[in-house]
Structure 1
């Protein structure tokens, strides 16, 4: 895989050419940025920017305009900054404007045809598709226990997607008997070449048994069957070694810069 060419393709397909990630969301291209305005419970933020070559004052003016725009909507929002974005000091400028960086992750990409997709769940684990409210409840329960965060936004997003356009999301929960122990989802953007793997998490007592690996392989098989060429993951330090072994390549970093009006 030509890393530079694939990263350029990812920027073009999934950032500059971004599509709304769910019902009610709108993607706008204005003032050198591509941004999404969603509902209060949806994702709001800047996906891509073309700021290289601008004077410093002009870069700061673009940042200020995004703050003004989302404040006008009454929304917290995220500027999704990638390691190759320019100018090189954009992160510093975002912090100076009042943004708070969250933990850095690694953008990892693999070609579906190059992956080892034979990983099966360990004995006693069933992978169950999430297709209704009961399944979403199971998935949200795992997410909250695995990550220790409130998952009301995830619940809202999944229910809306399953109701409006179920072909754009694949969600799955891993069960040990009746107990949900791991879950994950995959976002499928119509016409794109990349399928996005998101939210893979396992409750602490069940980690290290190969469930996460099986969930990646399960979603990868579905993506390949639906004609997607690449898989994309924003990988944490915990998931990156597993993805390395499966055949994913690290192409750059990504850091969410969050702005919450005071």
Structure 2
């Protein structure tokens, strides 16, 4: 696809990515359906709720659907994320989620761009930094430690989750670290979405002392090249406010927003 019209891209995102269920599933992960909702259990930190759309549910019927999720996860004693998009219907969905006890976390912007021009650019990293593709638990633990240092929060869930994903289908994901000597200074991973034109980018956190040196941009280019090799034509990112300007300069287009609404028993 070469048309970078935001509406066309958003329609592709809705139809190809939003209701995606990984196949095969990582060990311990199960999927259930409740009407239009896809409910994923056994993930790293919390349950996950997604959907292509809500089949026109409104009012009491929508409240009942939300209440069933709250009851199930209250019984499990486990938090759950409802991934709400800015263009979701009905317009009062966020209000209904809040009324049911869901709390919004930080909003991100969904950006999408063509793979080919990004893949054409050679990744350029600062002197002394190298990019390396990794699969071992030791390297995944190093990534989690770097992320914990960046965010000042526990990221211990990250390494086992990536390890399970790699074990389930090693051809569906590539994890890349940027290293300066023995130190992981940044990392990101790319997922190749089956039966679609998409690859999706995740991670990209960079230690404060290594920012503004082109490392994030290099990681994007490297992963775009991997996506291009696998025949993907579109690249999608849930972008933070920090990464969004970089990605827009690289040609990715904002198409909607996404906000995790989290219920915690």
Relative to the length of structure 1, the TM-score reads 0.92
Query: Is 1:111 matched up with 2:117?
Result: no
**Pick aligned residue for 1:2 from 1, 5, 11:** 5
Query: Is 1:224 matched up with 2:235?
Result: no
Task: State the distance in 1 between where 2:8 and 2:22 align.
Answer: 21
Task: State the distance in 1 between where 2:182 and 2:207 align.
Answer: 14
Q: Deviations over 1:8-49 (max 9, x none)?
A: 12112111243366333233332221222224x355211126
Query: Is 1:165 matched up with 2:164?
Result: no
Query: Is 1:48 matched up with 2:51?
Result: yes
Query: Is 1:95 matched up with 2:124?
Result: no
Number of the residue aligned with 1:190 = 194
Task: State the distance in 2 between where 1:42 and 1:164 align.
Answer: 18
Query: Is 1:71 matched up with 2:74?
Result: yes
**Pick aligned residue for 1:125 from 124, 129, 133:** 129
Number of aligned residue pairs: give it: 260
Secondary structure in 1 aligned to 2:127? coil
Relative to the length of structure 2, the TM-score reads 0.91
User: Do the aligned partners of residues 18 and 166 (structure 1) sit closer, same or farther apart at CA in structure 2, a change above 3 Å counting?
Assistant: same
Task: State the distance in 2 between where 1:143 and 1:55 align.
Answer: 39
- State the shift of 1:259 in Å: 0.7
Secondary structure in 2 aligned to 1:150? coil
Query: Is 1:256 matched up with 2:260?
Result: yes
- State the shift of 1:215 in Å: 0.5
Task: State the distance in 1 between where 2:59 and 2:241 align.
Answer: 33
Structure 2 stretches lacking a partner, 5+ long: none
User: Do the aligned partners of residues 14 and 49 (structure 1) sit closer, same or farther apart at CA in structure 2, a change above 3 Å counting?
Assistant: closer
Task: State the distance in 2 between where 1:181 and 1:233 align.
Answer: 20
Number of the residue aligned with 1:241 = 245
User: Do the aligned partners of residues 117 and 68 (structure 1) sit closer, same or farther apart at CA in structure 2, a change above 3 Å counting?
Assistant: farther
Task: State the distance in 2 between where 1:230 and 1:90 align.
Answer: 29
User: Do the aligned partners of residues 26 and 188 (structure 1) sit closer, same or farther apart at CA in structure 2, a change above 3 Å counting?
Assistant: farther
Task: State the distance in 2 between where 1:82 and 1:55 align.
Answer: 16
Task: State the distance in 2 between where 1:27 and 1:134 align.
Answer: 29
Aligned alpha-carbon RMSD (Å): 1.8
Structure 1 stretches lacking a partner, 5+ long: none
